[in-house]
Amino acid sequence: MEEVKQEAISVREWEECGSCLYDSKITPMQGWEDEGMIWGKHSSSSFLRQYNGGPCGVLMSIQAEYLVQYLFLSSESNSISDLLSEEENDISSSSSFSVSGSIMSEKKKLCWANAMATMLVRASSNNNVILLVLRTNRTSRNTESSSIWTNPANFEKITLSDPSKVAQILLQHPTLMSQYTQPGGVLLFAMAMVWTRGKINILQDMDDKTVLITPPFGHVSQELLNLCLTGRAVSNVWDDGHVVGLGGIASNGHVGYLTLLEALRYVQVGSFYKFPQYPIWVIASSTHFTLLFGSSTDILKESTSDQLLITCKREFDKYAAGSQYDGMIETKHLSQLLATFQPQLQSYCEKNNNTYSSLVETLHATLEMPGTNLILWDEFWKTCSRLFMGASLESVLHVPPPSSQITTIGTSERPKTDEELARELQAQFDAELNNNGATSQPTMDYINNDHSGYDAEVSQLTLNNNNNNTNDGNEQITSFRHDNQNTTTSSSSTCGSTFTLYHYNALRGGELSTMEITRLSAEELVGISSQQQLGGSSTRGDLEDVINTKWPSCKITRKNNNYSKPPSID
């Protein structure tokens, strides 16, 4: 067994790092001080439970990294069945917890240690990892709890200079592991993350140097969640470089992140978070964090449209970042933006007897919002994505993509945005001025071109409208375009991949729900307005809205759901 040296924490060090975490005078920390890492029992022994409000973001980050270790990085080949089949005793009683005993299997114990070690090492900027040890015995709801957590004399630190041995040290010293199961265990781990990252690095990561990573209301801030997921306490969830001077996510890590706020159009999650290394995402609602995960990395395979969307959005954002507008660029930047895709557009021009310069001129005139000198991302994507996939310029400019037709036929219509209403009124006004009420008809160019992706969506529409199958009562089915209908749609040649996802909410005793995701086709995103894909709905569960920010236009089938309501993300 390797010896570890415990050192006292100086008042100065305590004030420096502690001041980043929370303000004991104004932040309600009772939930943190009572919350330990409590694992479930029997088939839930691989899932953490939450009993207090506040630390859910840290808990779900640990849970997510644990699943990475168990399902994907373990030396053994583990499956979801293995994850749920092991019946083990509850370790919620800290007095009976023993790392070396049989209360938690060696395999799961190793994954837990590796998960915490991975998070700590990731946060370190100099390969040093700091573990904190609380010297005082704790009991839940201790009347002196707050004074315990504000007194540096109650703590010691262990500095580990070899990152490869962090998990080994945790396993060799049972008291280090068992302290995390006691009241305040989650807070103790969060403090270790802050001490390991260091105050200087945390302040450099953050946009606003005056905020705390545990805000005044005691919940997990975006900075603390990003620290747990990426090792950097940045303030935003978009890809780094999206906005000059504001930090974002620098690369795709083990675990991703999705949020209801994107479905409500308040924030934009970058591709690094949407496409993590493993199919596991922390889900954020307005008040809580839960977990979405799958068991196969095939889920992460990017279709042609996925890759095209990521590239287009990233390039578009480079120019949007330089303006004062969000989601739009100044028209003067369009030529530079299109130059990024010149090889594809040049190839298109050669096939269609067009010139690159005339194509750029046409796009300039078409994409610009009249009188604004601005181009919206939505219009750029709808037009250029179809050009890149082989549609003729005439069809792109005069025929709406079939996807938009599908959205409004046989479905409950989504409320129109202010932007869409304004465009509609402007179009009517222009039509009256020009005395031209004729409706553009599809051209032969459009019909003759290869639009298999669009045909798939039209076929899917027909399939959904003509399907009279009823639910057997054991499944609750939600389709993206049929919010008010419970229809069962079988997979066919028009459908893309189908895979299973699991959603876990640590509150309410722990809820694990299963769902099946079916994508329509490899080209499902091409030409579809992002405004049509996003937006909350009162007739659907919030989880479906969040999932659609990652997989637009997918069908979601809830399986083995024992709850009458959709799985809760709150």
- Does the pLDDT of residue 229 top 80, yes or no? yes
Q: Of 159-168, 212-221, 425-434, 462-471, where does the model show the most confidence?
A: 159-168
Give the pLDDT mean for 385-394.
80
Specify if 248 maps to a domain: no
Can you tell me whether residue 10 is helix, strand or coil? Answer: coil
Specify if 509 maps to a domain: yes
Chain segment 236-267, per-residue pLDDT in tens = 999 886 666 788 999 999 999 999 999 998 88
- Does the pLDDT of residue 514 top 80, yes or no? yes
**Total domains present in the chain:** 2
Report yes or no: 155 and 134 within 8 Å, Cβ to Cβ. yes
Residue identified by tokens 């019946």 is: 87
Q: Of 180-189, 384-393, 435-444, where does the model show the most confidence?
A: 180-189
**Cα–Cα distance measured from residue 380 to residue 368, given in angstroms and rounded to the nearest whole number:** 9
Q: How confident is the model at residue 517 (pLDDT cuts 50, 70, 90)?
A: very high
- Does the pLDDT of residue 289 top 70, yes or no? yes
User: For residue 525, what are the β-bridge partners?
Assistant: none
Classify residue 294 as left (phi > 0), alpha (psi -120 to 50) or beta: beta
pTM, full prediction: 0.74
**Predicted local confidence at residue 185, as pLDDT:** 94
Chain segment 301-358, per-residue pLDDT in tens = 877 777 788 788 888 888 876 555 567 899 999 999 999 888 888 888 888 888 889 8
Chain segment 445-487, per-residue pLDDT in tens = 332 334 333 333 322 333 333 333 333 433 333 332 223 333 3
**Predicted local confidence at residue 95, as pLDDT:** 37
**Predicted local confidence at residue 562, as pLDDT:** 52
- The mean pLDDT of the chain is 76
Specify if 193 maps to a domain: yes
Specify if 289 maps to a domain: no
- Does the pLDDT of residue 192 top 80, yes or no? yes
Specify if 251 maps to a domain: no
Residue finishing a domain among 161, 179, 206: 206
Chain segment 2-15, per-residue pLDDT in tens = 667 889 998 888 88
**Predicted local confidence at residue 418, as pLDDT:** 52
Specify if 541 maps to a domain: yes
Give the pLDDT mean for 282-296.
95
**Predicted local confidence at residue 6, as pLDDT:** 87
User: For residue 243, what are the β-bridge partners?
Assistant: 246
Specify if 422 maps to a domain: no
**Cα–Cα distance measured from residue 109 to residue 505, given in angstroms and rounded to the nearest whole number:** 21
Q: What share of the chain has pLDDT > 90, as a percent? A: 34
Domain membership of residue 73 as a residue range = 6-206
E strands of 315-388, at which residues? 328-330, 368-369, 374-376
Least confident of 203-207, 280-284, 301-305, 435-439: 435-439
Q: What backbone phi and psi angles, to 5 degrees, belong to 543?
A: -60, -40
Residue finishing a domain among 153, 178, 206: 206
501 Cβ contact list (under 8 Å, min separation 6): 279, 292, 293, 294, 299, 514, 515, 516, 517, 547
Can you tell me whether residue 155 is helix, strand or coil? Answer: strand
Residue finishing a domain among 206, 229, 257: 206
Chain segment 114-151, per-residue pLDDT in tens = 999 999 999 999 989 999 998 876 655 554 556 788 88
Q: How confident is the model at residue 103 (pLDDT cuts 50, 70, 90)?
A: low
Chain segment 62-83, per-residue pLDDT in tens = 999 999 999 999 988 788 888 8
Q: How confident is the model at residue 410 (pLDDT cuts 50, 70, 90)?
A: very low
**Predicted local confidence at residue 433, as pLDDT:** 52
**Cα–Cα distance measured from residue 374 to residue 365, given in angstroms and rounded to the nearest whole number:** 11
Specify if 218 maps to a domain: no
Sign of CA dihedral 293, 299, 305, 306: positive
**Predicted local confidence at residue 405, as pLDDT:** 41
Give the pLDDT mean for 532-544.
59
